Structure 1
């Protein structure tokens, strides 16, 4: 096994060691993956890996080992690359085998050139994902990851690409015969792109040409590069992620934690510019990539770095306070879960009190908000998503900052969220649905391209009279489909493509929402604070950080608990339903029963119970009765508004 190499700073050295030992035997690739897996199992090792989410790009050393927490925004076409290639020394004719995996630029020293006709060259395929930071990720999540990261980094401005120093004689020759030298260098420099690897014949020119290339690049870009973030105001790096194994396991909108080798070689910018310039001279029939497609698929590495993935893990959640995988039977995970479950009851009581204050003293609305926040689509039956629980909180004061501050409270509790201000202007002008841009051959993101378990808060109190145009109507339809079917139909021009999702939608409105909802609860404030901002700020500051963290763990953990109903309780529920129908056939329908079962499910889980008990069933009936009575009373007061 290679030793003496720093696996964080020089991972390619580790890879080179395995490649040198095993040659073209493909076992070396498995050994590399196993090596890094074992390294990351060492005590707190993942915390020492610099993260692109937390560390600015210029602080990271090129070709170092990094991690990235991200969402797959788009998948590009697979590309071929030279997995193994051979170089020839122009003077000695000595041949050397190199590996191309985990590289963008072929390793090619002075006096060496790639032998493109070598029989030992191996071409393989890799997949490229376009990944963005997790949309809507809460500030507390980012801060927790930053605080946990122990990577030591410093600005890498002192880093210069590996190059051979010229002797004084060379410098003097350059001074005496500048034109001759320039001509020689112009003739000897070979750049190109073969099999997914860029190559350059004269490394000693890299540094100068890189800066020139970046200037050219900025001139050649017709417009600022759009990082294609789904939500407005998002920050952080987008990355081109090169995946070598098991890419079929991943799909668009998956949230991943990636470990890999960072590639920000400036030569990529030069070569991509050269390709763009030369493409206009080629036969249109031979050049399949448009200039726009090249611009999008090969952006400057300084703007969109590349990560060559060694290990990739699909994340169940992004809550840094919990173990990454909650389904594992690991002793640490089991111990954490059982320890937290033992103190669940007081946490629920405190959370209920906290949300009651946030909802201006309305404890019934607070109960339903808890059920909403732990709800999740647990399965699909045909096209019907089971477990979704969209809540419409009606009765919210109009022209008040209440809804804005309520969203801030939710933001402090959930790992990812977004507040959609439902104004006529936003509905008519914002892009909700992702669509395929065939010119650039990419998926252009929209507001509804969100990862699973994102909390989407729709503020309908801002809606005023006005005319929805065609895009506005499409956006309302998209929201309705999201709520009803938990799917978004992406626009591929010639057809729609259905993308299932699992988004928690919470609607705040004055009257009944224009959008469909599984449950409407009318707010009954017990107090109206004279200064809403001051009231909500004091509420947040009064909660201890440790208690707030318990709320966050509670709301994430309960989504992953299994749940079942025993045969005995099933029979009791059926009998109860028949009895209620017997007394008043109009009082309860099959849909009402389904709603009751959903409320009972999340009520049980909120108490840490994974099976339905008679007690919880009766409590669910009581909550639903109170909610319906309140709606009925409001309808009597306001006529048919509700």
Structure 2
């Protein structure tokens, strides 16, 4: 019987013993052995995101939570090799979950051509720390090991959930934690530099020079985008490779390696694809390799402590508390209602030309001297993930908003809008300046508009583009009508309290997070008892002077569904539809003032 310490401190020894004891099993019972040893003790596994690399022991079991940013073609490797001793005796050595063969004792040799050497494949995933993670969410994950045990769906075993946690606790402010509603420029930071790390064991310049100047310059450019401690190459083995998806957030558990194997001198343990341009492999001192033994999908970006259900008898109080927090941020009751609905909105259905369920919200009537920075900072205390797009001519012209495939280095390069589902995107048009938008800037505005309209992005594969679905609530801050459009425009001009929260306690913030998390996991459909009432109302709207369009009716139905969800109901009632109509009328009246 193995202990948690056994599988954490010496996982490769345990794998070797599993192979010897269960050679007839496809996976040598590795998953079962590790699961039993770690039952209820997953929080003991060190996280690569919470410590410096030099403090992590080579070939130990670690945890990495991140978003899958890219994947590569499969690698072919030998699961085990025969080792021959000085006396001619042979034994099998497990070479799964490693980048390089173990040292061979003097007098021993490996036999690579033996018929007993099993060939298998593994898929390298380029995984980055969750983009845009709020500091409070990162702290909750860092301090609460339950996040590793409690995500819905459990651990995906073989055979069958800011940026993410900061690289070192020493990077925290010495002043301590930020108060719940203290505006802070770092409350929603996307990236934090890491420190430390082991030296790569390969002459990187020598490796790069073999591939020519183009590869060398592209590789240097790609490496410049990587921040130490913020990425990991996860190698998923064939017996657990299905189920992951691009841009999905996962918890990966596996054996960490800081070795970099030079393909020109490797021992044929890994077979490279022939005829393709060399893949850009960043040094493991910056991007370590994690040989995955188990993984699980993270189903919500909210930390596990906020995912417990709210009792129906407490929902009215929880709803009122959340609305009070939203009103404290926006300074307006109507804006608070719409902000609440926007934050809990998510895609429910995709039709040929319509994406239903989303609610892109435009707060208009703002000026540059309004406290939009305060609004952004305060909002970050309520949502676990947020991406802020401060528009400017320079930013639009020079940034890459969607990922682009670079075939010179065989990598999908990061785009500003490559984000996990549930990330709130704040588009700040108040920072837009005068100037000429180049073709790239116009394209980037188009990408923003498409994300807002259809919740999808066209990734650039140079020779073609491919659509990828997104599901990110969008909030736009503007003076007039937004240049990228919206589903609902709410006028907040003249509101001096916008972005200036007062009277909101830490207890209220915690309650609002819990409520928002519960609402985002709830769905609601139109109840049969309300159908006749809604149909009659739709007929009246169609026959009115304005003549409601199909798109407007879908929008109103979406508002009614979100109203039902705010009350914890799974069915849309008459009152929800009537409330949606009332909110929309009030919104139009405010815009007309």
Q: Which residue is 2:519 aligned to?
A: 558
**Cα offset, 1:82, TM superposition:** 0.2
How does 1:222-301 map onto structure 2 within 5 Å? 236-244=229-237, 245-265=239-259, 268-269=260-261, 271-272=262-263, 274=265, 288=275, 290=277, 293-294=278-279, 296-297=280-281, 299-301=282-284
1:403 to 365, 372, 377: 372
After TM superposition, list the pairs within 5 Å mapping 1:140-159 onto structure 2: 140-149=136-145
**Alpha-carbon shift at residue 579 of structure 1 (Å):** 3.0
Distance 1:344 1:410 in 2: 22
Q: Distance in 1 between matches of 2:570 and 2:131?
A: 31
Work out whether 1:357 is the aligned partner of 2:357. Answer: no
Residues 27, 246 of structure 1: CA spacing in aligned structure 2 closer, same or farther, 3 A cutoff? closer
TM-score of the superposed pair, with normalisation by structure 2: 0.83
Q: Which has the higher contact order (CA 8 A, sep 6+)?
A: 2
Of 349-358 and 406-415, the range deviating more from structure 2: 349-358
CA distance in 2, matches of 1:219, 1:120: 35
- Output one character per residue of 1:128-181: Cα deviation in whole Å (capped at 9) or x when no partner: 101111111111111112222499xxx9xxxxxxxxxxxxxxxxxxxxxxxxxx
Of 112, 124, 134 in structure 1, the residue corresponding to residue 120 of structure 2 is 124
CA deviation vs aligned residue, 1:261-312 (integer Å, no higher than 9, x gap): 11123xx35x35757xxxxxxxxxx96354xx35x23x32221111111111
- Residues 342 and 50 (structure 1), Cα distance of their counterparts in 2 relative to 1, 3 Å cut: farther
Contact in 1 for aligned 2:328/2:504 (Cα 8 Å)? no
Which of 100, 106, 123 lines up with 1:105 in the alignment? 100
- RMSD of equivalent CA atoms: 2.7
Match of 1:302 among 275, 285, 294: 285
SS in 1 for 2:346: coil
1:476 aligns with 2:445: yes
Would you say the 8 A contact 1:228–1:445 is kept in 2?
no
Output the CA distance in 2 between the equivalents of 1:79 and 1:258: 19
Distance change (3 Å), C-alpha of 1:561 and 1:629:
same
> Is 2:321–2:511's contact at 8 Å kept on the other side of the alignment?
no
CA contact (8 A) 1:213 1:273 kept: no
Give the structure 2 partner of residue 18 of structure 1. 18
Do the aligned partners of residues 39 and 73 (structure 1) sit closer, same or farther apart at CA in structure 2, a change above 3 Å counting? same
Measured against aligned partners, the alpha-carbon deviations of 1:371-394 in whole angstroms (never above 9, x if no partner) come to 000000122223532111100110
Partner of residue 182, structure 1: none
CA deviation after TM superposition for structure 1 residue 445, in Å: 0.9
Q: 1:235 to 1:569 in 2, by over 3 A?
A: farther
Q: How does 1:305-320 map to 2 (within 5 A)?
A: 305-320=288-303
In the alignment, which of 560, 578, 583 is matched to residue 618 of structure 1? Answer: 578
Which structure 1 residue ranges, 5 or more long, are not aligned?
156-209, 276-285, 327-335, 634-642
- Cα distance in 2 for partners of 1:379, 1:588 equals 21
Displacement after TM superposition at 1:544 (Å): 3.2
- What's 1:344 paired with? 315
Contact 1:254 1:314 in 2 (8 A): yes
Deviation at 1:2, TM superposition (A): 5.2
Tell me the equivalent position of 2:563: 603
Compared CA separation, residues 366 and 37, structure 1 to 2 (3 A): same
Query: C-alpha distance in 1, partners of 2:359/2:82?
Result: 59
CA contact (8 A) 2:388 2:425 kept: yes
How many correspondences in the alignment? 528
SS of residue in 2 equivalent to 1:352: helix
Which of 49, 52, 60 is the matching residue for 2:48?
A: 52
- The 8 Å contact of residues 421 and 460 in structure 1, kept in 2 or not, is answered as yes
Q: Could you say if the C-alpha distance between residues 515 and 526 of structure 1 is closer, same or farther in structure 2, counting changes exceeding 3 Å? A: closer
Give the secondary-structure state (helix, strand or coil) at the position aligned to 1:71. strand
1:571 to 532, 542, 545: 532
Greater fraction of residues in helix: 1
Q: Paired residue for 2:129?
A: 133
- Unaligned stretches of 5+ residues in structure 2: 149-167, 169-197, 209-215, 267-272
Whether contact under 8 Å (1:486, 1:503) holds in the other structure is: yes
Contact 2:3/2:38, CA 8 A, preserved across alignment: no
**CA separation of 1:235 and 1:138: change in aligned 2, threshold 3 A:** farther
How far is the alpha carbon of 1:609 from its aligned partner?
1.6
Q: Aligned equivalents of 1:518 and 1:580: distance in 2?
A: 18
CA contact (8 A) 2:393 2:435 kept: yes
1:377 to 336, 339, 347: 347
> Given the superposition, is the C-alpha separation of residues 287 and 308 from structure 1 closer, same or farther in structure 2, using an over 3 Å criterion?
closer
Deviations 1:336-370 (A, max 9, x none): 3144x4422222212212221221x2110111000
Which protein has the larger Cα radius of gyration, Structure 1 or Structure 2? 1
TM-score for the superposition, normalised by structure 1: 0.77
Query: Partners in 1 of 2:556 and 2:367 — Cα distance?
Result: 28
Which of 573, 588, 591 aligns to 2:551? It is: 591
Partner residue in 1 for 2:153: none
| Closer, same or farther: CA 14–450 of 1 in aligned 2, 3 Å | same
For residues 59 and 211 of structure 1, the distance between their equivalents in structure 2, rounded to whole angstroms, comes to 13
**Please, which of 462, 478, 485 is the counterpart of residue 493 of structure 1?**
462
What SS class does the counterpart of residue 571 from structure 2 fall into?
coil
Offset of 1:20 from its aligned partner?
1.1
Q: 1:303 to 1:273 in 2, by over 3 A?
A: farther
